[in-house]
Amino acid sequence: MTVVGLRLGLLALFLAIWEIAGRKVNPLLGVPPSAVLPSLRDLLLLRSYPDLPASLWLTIREIGTAYALAVAAGLGCGFVLGMHRLVGRAWGPMLAALYAVPAVVWYPSLMLFFGLDAASKIAFGFLLGFFPIALAVLAGIRQVNPQLVVVARAYGAGTATVFRRVMLPAMLFTLVGGLRTGLVLCVIGVVVGEILGSKAGMGALINHAYGLLRTGDYVALVLVTLVLVVGSDVLASLLERRARRWTE
């Protein structure tokens, strides 16, 4: 109880400091919370940015496409590397080394190749989401107890049965965690891509507001984008919980 009270108190203190500081500084730079609410209302009533629904929908479609591709490629690549020992031992470290490169260095090349439209954002979201999924599959397969597979085979289980009854339950935990991280990174990739250069989507709106020093609108747009980000993670965490219940 005290903990919750202190948490709320801290939040109130933070908003109060923001309010006071926001009123003191140049209104182009600081936006107190009391000024964000009118901007947010204007935004949601489509007064400041009438194309908000279209932009939001475009960003969601980009995320969806990027994630679908990342899941397909990540699962495929992870299983190939996990099933073939030699290939896995050779390519696994190479994959991990590529993962150690800050992904944003690839973005200019992607933008050059795929252009300013949705394709480059999808490609970048895919790139960010692919690695955690592939690496999670790889780690998950290593967790499967090989003796269980041998025993199942000895009792006459086929490949499909071994996979469904033995491997999947053993690796599901890691796999689902990777799928969730992949979704978070996909969302971040698409948003980063849009902010670094785009003509449409939430990132383009944010850049527009920032470029015109419409700071109130900028904060409101950021809040709407945050809802999208947090919402996707909540969805993923619900799926994660379901998967966990299934294994237990």
Partner 1 sequence: MRVRILQIVTVIAALGVWEVVARMGWVDPLFVPAPSAVAPALLKIGRGALAGLADTLGKTAVAYVLSVVLGVSAGVAVGSIRLLREVLSPYVIAFYGIPKILVLPWIVLLLGYGTTPAVFYGVLHGFFPIMVLVMGAVRDVDRTLVAVARSLGATTWQLYWKVLLPAIVPSVLGGMRLGVVFCLLGVLVVEMFAGVRGMGHVLGSYANGFQAPELFAATALVSAASIAIVLALDHLNDRLSRWRG
Residues within the interface to partner 1 (CB under 8 A): 3, 6-7, 10, 28-29, 86-87, 89-91, 93-94, 97-98, 100-109, 111-113, 184, 187-188, 191-192, 195-196, 206-207, 210, 213, 215, 218-219, 222, 225-226, 229-230, 233
Question: With contact defined as beta carbons under 8 Å apart, do 129 and 190 qualify?
Answer: no
- Give 78-83 contacts, CB < 8 A, sequence gap 24+: 78/133, 78/134, 78/135, 78/136, 78/137, 78/138, 78/140, 78/141, 79/137, 79/141, 81/134, 81/137, 81/138, 82/137, 82/138, 82/140, 82/141, 82/142, 83/141
Nearer to partner 1, 168 or 229 (CB): 229
For residue 81, give the nearest of 73, 89, 69 by alpha carbon.
89
Residue 51: CB minimum distance to partner 1, A: 19
Q: Indicate if the alpha-carbon torsion angle 236, 129, 103, 221 is positive or negative.
A: negative
Residue 219: CB minimum distance to partner 1, A: 8
Helix, strand, coil distribution of the chain in percent, nearest 5:
85, 0, 15
Q: Which helix (H) or strand (E) holds 142?
A: helix 118-143
What CA–CA distance (Å, rounded) separates 243 from 248?
9
Residue 28: CB minimum distance to partner 1, A: 7
Nearer to partner 1, 162 or 216 (CB): 216
What CA–CA distance (Å, rounded) separates 170 from 136?
13
Nearer to partner 1, 49 or 107 (CB): 107
Residue 165: CB minimum distance to partner 1, A: 32
Nearer to partner 1, 166 or 214 (CB): 214
Residue 174: CB minimum distance to partner 1, A: 18
Question: With contact defined as beta carbons under 8 Å apart, do 127 and 106 qualify?
Answer: yes
Nearer to partner 1, 113 or 246 (CB): 113
Residue 148: CB minimum distance to partner 1, A: 26
CA angle 87, 90, 91 (to 5 degrees): 80
Residue 248: CB minimum distance to partner 1, A: 24
Nearer to partner 1, 103 or 144 (CB): 103
Nearer to partner 1, 164 or 199 (CB): 199
